[in-house]
């Protein structure tokens, strides 16, 4: 069965970087885009960008340009999202999610369990 398993919770100081991993199983990793979505406490969903695990190509939301880097390691079917220069506004649960179909225009049918990132001095 398809699973996306994310790394554990992180606590970071303002100005630091955080890197979250998303290990895929149960399907061909390079066959579907991986998206990253975050959710601040008590708030809605915010899309951060996607990575094409096949090519490594990325598309980031303008809000995060220059601060976010999405990468992947196909040998271990894992995607990564690194966010730099974090502030308290970046405190949120970060989700990875898989496309329903291999396309830049597809909804998300499988989600990771979420990784809580807390930014606090």
For other proteins, which is the closer residue by CB, 56 or 107?
107
Is the Cα torsion angle 96, 55, 70, 7 positive or negative in sign?
A: positive
User: DSSP secondary structure string, 65-101?
Assistant: TTTEEEEEEGGGTEEEEEE-S--GGG-EEEEEEEESS
Of 117, 97, 118, 116, the residue nearest 108 (C-alpha): 97
> How many C-beta atoms lie closer than 10 Å to residue 33's C-beta?
24
Residue 77 backbone phi and psi in degrees, to 5? 50, 50
**Shortest separation between residue 88's beta carbon and other proteins, angstroms:** 21
Among 30, 54, 58, 106, binds other proteins (CB under 8 A): 106
Interacting residues with other proteins between 56 and 85 (CB under 8 A): 59, 61-63
Among 47, 58, 68, 91, binds other proteins (CB under 8 A): 47
For other proteins, which is the closer residue by CB, 25 or 113?
113
Stretch that binds other proteins, among 16-24, 69-77, 81-89, 97-105 (CB under 8 A): 97-105
> How many C-beta atoms lie closer than 10 Å to residue 105's C-beta?
7
For other proteins, which is the closer residue by CB, 62 or 121?
62
Q: Is 120 in the site for other proteins (CB under 8 A)?
A: no
In 3-state terms, what secondary structure has residue 2? coil
| Sites of contact with other proteins (CB under 8 A) | 35, 44-47, 59, 61-63, 95, 97, 100, 104-109, 111-114
């Amino acid at each position: 069965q398809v699973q996306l398993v994310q790394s554990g919770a992180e606590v970071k100081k303002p100005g630091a970087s955080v890197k979250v991993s998303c290990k895929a199983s149960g399907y061909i990793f390079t066959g579907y885009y991986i998206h990253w979505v975050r959710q601040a406490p008590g708030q809605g969903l915010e899309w951060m960008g996607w990575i094409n695990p096949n090519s490594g190509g990325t598309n980031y939301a303008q809000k995060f340009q220059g601060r976010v880097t999405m990468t992947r390691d196909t040998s271990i079917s894992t995607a990564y999202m690194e966010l730099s220069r974090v502030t308290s506004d970046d405190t949120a649960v970060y989700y990875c999610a898989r496309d329903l179909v291999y396309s830049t225009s597809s909804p998300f049918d499988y989600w990771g369990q979420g990784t809580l990132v807390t930014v606090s001095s």
